[in-house]
Structure 1
Amino acid sequence: MLPDTSRPFHVVCDASDFAIGCALMQFDAEGRERVVSYQSRQMKPAEKNYPVHDKELLAMRYALIKFRVYLLGEQTFAVYTDHASLRTAMKSPHLSQRMARWLSFFAEYNFVVHYKPGKNNILPDALSRRPDYDPRRLTRHQDIPDDDDDDDDRATCVTLGINATVSSPVLPLRQQIADAGRYARKVDAPNA
């Protein structure tokens, strides 16, 4: 849906253990909630160690940055999160340095935080739990079958749990790599 600047925007956001997701939403003329834009990303290694409420605030901050052009200077808009304590966390007298920095960033915007139960916060929940972001689903190291046979003209690639075998009519993969190495040595040291 194209954004309608005559209608108010609202933001939904969520964080999981490994990613954050958010969406900029509006209600259309018929009163149906529509997505204007959505964003998600994996957390950086340090962000994965944040406490839960900081992860949720990270998702909120990410949403405000991504949708800044629509939200900055806007009338009061709503931010929905499935973490109830965020409504009070921002008023706590005991703030970490990170939260203090983020609160100064949040002060630029005119928004109210609302609690939305996780079962109703479906879109950002799905964005923050994309399977391709989940490090538990990514294959870190799998053994590639040994293809030492000189007559074998197949290369096997194993990534993200998908086995793909590609046939090459020219040369086996190991032979291509060996030939490329010999060529590189000749170019680097032609008199050797």
Structure 2
Amino acid sequence: MQVPSLFLWCFNPSLPTIVETHASDYALGAVLSLVSDSGEHPIAFDRRKLLPAELNYEIHDKELLGIVWALKRWRAFLLSISSPFEVLTDHSSLQYFMSFKILTRRQAHSAEFSSDFHFSIIYCPGRLATLPDALSRRDNV
């Protein structure tokens, strides 16, 4: 059973949008935020356990899975945005993901799905991404 995301604020597609994701050894965490004149406002939080097969993924594939999962969870909101949004990840090589020339089948599937969205992947050191990190590390996911 999939639990709905926790929403704290109304989504406004005219405001700049940020998606932060993190993958740990056993779970994914994501935060959807809007940026207004008064600062950044987290509006939705979500997390899930990794499936048994996903536990065996390399870390870059787990982090990519976290991005794709967040895009799927908030698809309706993210597709309604006219300007590009930012996806923040603590895995630095993913900021070049869309320009990789050689992809595994899993990565190619992720790239194909992601092509519907207008976003850029930005590296954010893990120590700065505390919200998605905390969500992915909870032991009672």
TM-score above 0.5, yes or no: yes
Quote the Cα distance in structure 1 between the aligned partners of 2:66 and 2:124: 15
On the 8 A contact 1:73/1:110 being kept in 2, the answer is no
1:43-54 map, 5 Å: 43-54=50-61
Q: CA deviation at 1:57?
A: 0.5
Q: CA deviation at 1:73?
A: 4.4
Unaligned runs of 5+ in 1: 134-192
Report the 3-state secondary structure (helix = DSSP H, G, I; strand = E; otherwise coil) of the residue aligned with 1:94. coil
1:25-174 map, 5 Å: 25-30=33-38, 32-74=39-81, 75-133=83-141
- 2:21 is the alignment partner of 1:20: no
Quote the Cα distance in structure 1 between the aligned partners of 2:79 and 2:107: 20
Quote the Cα distance in structure 1 between the aligned partners of 2:59 and 2:47: 17
Deviation string, structure 1 residues 66-123 (Cα, Å, up to 9, x no partner): 1111111422000000000101233222211111111000000000000000000000
TM-score (norm 2): 0.89
Quote the Cα distance in structure 2 between the aligned partners of 1:52 and 1:124: 16
Quote the Cα distance in structure 1 between the aligned partners of 2:89 and 2:73: 16
Quote the Cα distance in structure 1 between the aligned partners of 2:103 and 2:14: 37
Unaligned runs of 5+ in 2: 1-8
What percentage of aligned pairs have identical amino acids? 39
Moved over 6 A (4+): none
The structure whose RCO (Cα within 8 Å, separation 6+) is larger is 2
The count of residues paired between Structure 1 and Structure 2 equals: 132
- Give me the CA root mean square deviation: 1.2
